[in-house]
Structure formats: structure tokens, C-alpha cells
Amino acid sequence: MTLSIKTTRQDCLERDARDPLAPLRDQFDLPAGVIYLDGNSLGARPRAALARATDVIAREWGADLIRSWNTAGWFELPKRLGDRLAPIVGALPGEIVVTDTTSVNLFKALAAALDLQRPHAERKVIVTERSNFPTDIYMAEGLARWLDRGYQVRLIEDVTELDAAVGADTAVLMLTHVNYRTGRQLDMAAVSAMARARGAVTVWDLAHSAGAVPVELNRDGADFAVGCTYKYLNGGPGAPAFIWVPRRHQEAFAQPLSGWWGHAEPFAMAPSFAPAQGIARALCGTQPIASLALVECGLDVFAQTSMPAIRAKSLALTDLFIELVETQCAGHPLGLVTPREQAQRGSHVSFTHPHGYAVMQALIARGVIGDYREPAIMRFGFTPLYTSFTDVWDAVAILRAILDGQAYDTQAARSAVT
């Protein structure tokens, strides 16, 4: 999409007026006076979540008590939610469970991938990017250290090194599809094909992809994937994550966290583990029902639109943001980190600024909520379900006012924001 560099606020109002996704904003509870550009970290609350929580707490737990494992379908929730999530990431029914945390699911997927490679004793390397979200690297390190069979994690500095890094010694290529800091999106089809051609198994982290950009796991030949429901999918703070195992890998899929929810007959109380058929073998223990149930409220909103519609608006929003920052804040030391090319972009945009942390604190104080990541990176997430074009205009106007007036405190103490 080409935009005039003279976009006005009136233009933004008009774009909102003809935006087919604009009505979905009413399905979210957004606080007054806030422009929320951090849905890439914690998605906003679907209005329906409060009533759903009340129903789970008061009726399902309080009134129906233990019976709700059957009557409310608690035991089936991981699979039922997985099936609802499947079309958003190009998966089939029976290929996803919503369960545990992204880190724990990554452990399962990596362990299963290494297990697939055990016949190939020479394949001992897990390749990933140094700029990957750190927990992914830490989980790979933990797995390699504990197996103690010579596995190692190879960190590449940049995706341009992928070609050289993946070879005959590579067991697994573990990548995050959209980088958490830069917002750069990888070409899943091309990278998966390259890895497969070289005998490596791919494990994809969709934390910043699911609900943000079109993902076609099966079409693009991924081997395993994990992801998060509390960012673009609006599942609630720390909502359970997901794991995808395609049908072609399910029969061979084995993972060490072999708890009773992954057993073929969980209520037979057999004294030895036998894995369930299908995706259930990726489950482990009893899930946090209150948090898990709320995931459905976010998925209900996605059911009213499509990923192509979301992608079209996402690109329009990020294009607009880049254009407005570069024109209205010209002269300030801002550096675009996110790729300009649409195909390489996720749904958040990052700019560096020498005082990035202080500028972000000033933005938050004025109601524009983004976040900050070392080093010097301000992240702004654009969530087409509830972010308007006028939000973008207003956010940049506030950013400009802060920068022009140097209205930020470079001595501000840093504190943790996930």
C-alpha cells in the first residue's frame, strides 16, 4: 500500500470509517485515555472475558464443583481450544493443544525433534539465533545439558548466516517466526524447505505470529511449533500456550513430560505410561481451568474475521506508523529496526532512540503504551482487532510532542516489564 506522506488526522478518521474490522473494537474493554500499542506483549481484554470468568468461578467451580470435569468439558478444553486455534495458524483439527507454557511446550517439541534425529548420531546441534527470545535459547541449553550426549546450541548472529549454519551436523533448527524485538518475519516455507533438504527438523516459535500474521504451518512444511495465547490472541495474562504436532509426526511423537493427561487411558490408573493417540500425547498434567477457559473469548473474536483481513489492516497500520514517525519526527535520532518490506514484517514496529527507555516512559505517562527492550528499542504493537488508524496518528503526535519538547526524564529508574 502506498501512502501519501501528507497523511492527515482527517485521513485517518476516514480510513477508520471504512475499516471493516473497526466494529470489532467494541468487543474489547480498553481503558479511556489510553492508546494501547502493547498487544504484542499482553493482548487487551475481550469484553466477554468477565462474564466467562464469572461463569467459570461461580457456576462451574462453585456450584457444579467436581462434576464440571465432565459437564463443563474441562478435560477436553486443551483439545477443543486447539481445534479452534488451528485455522489461525494453518493447522488441522487434532493437531494443537492449548496447555502449559510456551517454554514447557518448546521443551516437549525440542525433545521430540531430537528424538526423531536419534538414528543420526552425527546430528548434535540445535541451531538458533542469538537474537531469539532468550527463554527459547535457555530451554534448548537445558535440554542439551541434561541429555549430556554431546548436544550443543549454535547461535547465529543473523539469518544471513543460516545457510552456513545448518548442515550435516544439525539436528534441529529452532527459530522464532517473528522476532520479538525487531518484528522481522522469516519466510517459513523457504527456511523449512532448506532445513528439510539438509536433514534438519524445524521447531517454530509463533509467540509473535499467532493471530498477528498469516501462518500456514502445514502448507509451509514446518515440523513442530509452539506459541502463545496471551499476546495477539488476547487470552489473558499468562494464558496457557499451545503446541502443534502435525499428523505426519504424531505417531512417532514422544516427549519426556509424560504425565497422565497424555496417557492413552488417563482414568484407568495403569502403573505404566502408554501414550494417547494423536495430539493428546503432548499433554502432561491438570490445566489451570480459569485461565484456560478465557482463551476462548479471544478466539471468539477471531472467528468473526479472517487472517487475510487482519493482515491487510496490520500492514496498513504499520506502514502508516512508519510513515508518520519518519515524517513527523524527522530530525530526531530515531532508527527503524523493523523491515520496511512488508513480507518481512510482523505486526509490531521497533525504533531505536538513544534515550529509548526514557522516551517510552514519557509515552506511557501520556497514555501511549508500548514497551522497551534492550538495547535502546521502543516497541509498538499494532493489533488490528482494536487499534485504529486514528490511534496511530495520535500516538505519533504525542511521540513528536515528547521528542520536540525533550519531555522525557533520562534519569528515570528502569523496572521490569515483560
Q: Write out the catalytic residue numbers.
A: 133, 205, 230-231, 379
Residue 88 CA from chain centroid, whole number: 12
DSSP run (H or E) holding 13: helix 9-17
CB of 202 to its own copies, least distance (A): 21
Cα of first residue to Cα of last residue in the chain, in angstroms, is 32
Site for its own copies contains 116 (CB under 8 A) = no
CB of 131 to its own copies, least distance (A): 8
Site for its own copies in 31-60 (CB under 8 A): 31, 34, 36, 38, 41-42, 44-45, 49-50, 53-54, 56-58, 60
236, 295 in Cβ contact below 8 A? yes
Site for its own copies in 322-381 (CB under 8 A): 364, 369, 371, 373-374
Mark the segment that binds its own copies (CB under 8 A) among 131-139, 162-170, 212-220, 347-355: 131-139
DSSP codes joined into one string, 314-339: HHHHHHHHHHHHHHHTTTS--EE-S-
Mark the segment that binds its own copies (CB under 8 A) among 136-144, 166-174, 245-253, 333-341: 136-144
69, 402 in Cβ contact below 8 A? no
In angstroms, the Cα distances linking 51 to 25, 32, 43, 47, 299 are 18, 21, 18, 8, 15
Site for its own copies in 156-175 (CB under 8 A): none
Mark the segment that binds its own copies (CB under 8 A) among 146-154, 159-167, 329-337, 402-410: 146-154
- Count Cα neighbours of 199 within 13 Å in the Cβ-side half-sphere: 14
176 is in an annotated binding site: yes
338 is in an annotated binding site: no
171, 193 in Cβ contact below 8 A? no
Site for its own copies contains 241 (CB under 8 A) = yes
135 is in an annotated binding site: yes
Site for its own copies contains 276 (CB under 8 A) = no
Compare residues 1 and 269 and give the one whose CB is closer to its own copies. Answer: 269
Residue 74, classed as helix, strand or coil, is helix
261 is in an annotated binding site: no
Compare residues 42 and 316 and give the one whose CB is closer to its own copies. Answer: 42
CB of 238 to its own copies, least distance (A): 4
CB of 96 to its own copies, least distance (A): 18
Quick note: the x/- pattern for its own copies over 288-327, rule CB under 8 A, is xxxxx-x---------------------------------
28 is in an annotated binding site: no
222, 189 in Cβ contact below 8 A? no
Residue 364, classed as helix, strand or coil, is helix
Q: Show the 3-state SS of 214-279.
A: CCCCCCCCCCEEEECCCCCCCCCCCCCCEEECCHHHHCCCCCCCCCHHHECCCCCCCCCCCECCHH
Alpha helices of 148-203 — where are they, by DSSP H?
162-165, 188-197
Q: Could you say which of 151, 204, 224, 230 contacts its own copies (CB under 8 A)?
A: 230
242 is in an annotated binding site: no
Site for its own copies in 68-87 (CB under 8 A): 68-70, 74-75
Closest CA to 351 of 370, 364, 368: 370
102 is in an annotated binding site: yes
CB of 119 to its own copies, least distance (A): 14
Task: Name every residue whose Cβ is closer than 8 Å to that of residue 39 and which is 6 or more positions away in sequence.
Answer: 231, 232, 234, 381, 382, 383, 386, 387
Site for its own copies in 244-273 (CB under 8 A): 255-263, 266-273
Q: Could you say which of 148, 164, 341, 405 contacts its own copies (CB under 8 A)?
A: 148
Q: Which residues are annotated as a binding site for pyridoxal 5'-phosphate?
A: 102-103, 133-136, 176, 205, 208, 230, 260, 286
Q: Which residues are annotated as a binding site?
A: 102-103, 133-136, 176, 205, 208, 230, 260, 286
